Amino acid sequence: MGLLTTEIAGRDEAEAIAEDDMLFCHELTSLDELRALSDPLRVSLYRLLREDEHTVKELCDLLGESSTRLYYHVGVLERVGLVRLVRTEARSGIVQKYYRAVARFVSLPAWLLHEEMDSPQSRAAADWYGALIEHAAADVRALFGQQLARVDRDTIFFTRNFVRLSPERAREFRQRLEDLQAELVAADDEQAETRFAFTTAFVPVQWQGPDAGRRTGRGHDRNHKPNVDENDARRSSPRDDTGGAAGKE
């Protein structure tokens, strides 16, 4: 099941309801939702509650966190509508509350990329993506710290590269990445024992290397304003995860 993503394989919320009434994908349209998922611990909670219903005590055991802290963070997610109370159960005179995430995936709407760069929405979206990257880094550290000897190394792939592309080629590669992540999501096998995380960030950057400005003649000009094509490339819909921007787990 994936973490954080946008529209997957052409499906949307209206047609994609899971058997347990969980939405397939929920779009993060409010600032409160974005802020709620910009916290790495709340992303961890969402991941667990997406997989199964849990009480706060069970979440404490899974994450090794105090109940006071998790009651607060689950409350934040519940207040913004990202998790919901699905049932209660009386045990030894104590009412146990079970929570579940509202959707298998969450997404960012394309209009967020049209926001002013320093708007509250843009800052919250950046924090959300940052939380995803932190989780990806934690997954890599865990792999090398404990799991590497137990996995098939031929299934692991890491990369970070810088390339110069025209806006047209950038759109082409973005579409291919989108198609690949949709293929990965569709390939989810509930019988498979190993989970894989797929986190993608394909973004224009301010290059500071030794050849900066060699072709453009701009060098390190921080006052340079992007042209229309560069803006168009930035405004392509962020089709991921959670997600992600994120991928399958």
Average pLDDT over residues 34-54: 90
* Per-residue confidence (pLDDT) for residue 210, from 0 to 100: 63
The average pLDDT across 212-228 equals 44
Q: 249 is written with which tokens?
A: 């787990």
Are 222 and 170 within 8 A, CB to CB? Answer: no
For position 117, what pLDDT does the model report? 66
Neighbouring-strand partners of residue 105: 25
pLDDT at 91: 85
Share of the chain above pLDDT 70, in %: 71
| The pLDDT of residue 49 | 95
Vertex 73: Cα angle to 33 and 90 (nearest 5): 115
User: CA-CA distance, 207 to 102, in Å (whole number)?
Assistant: 40
pLDDT, average across residues 84-109: 89
Third-level CATH fold of 23-234: Arc Repressor Mutant, subunit A (1.10.10)
- Average pLDDT for the chain: 75
Distances (CA, A) of 246 to 2, 18, 94, 142, 200: 8, 20, 38, 18, 6
What's the per-residue H, E or C state across 161-201? CCCCCCHHHHHHHHHHHHHHHHHHHHCCCCCCCCCCCCCCC
CA distance 72 to 90: 22
Burial of 34 (0-12, 13-18, 19+ CB in 10 A): buried
**What is the tens place of the pLDDT at every residue in 125-172?**
778 788 888 878 888 888 887 667 777 888 888 888 889 999 999 999
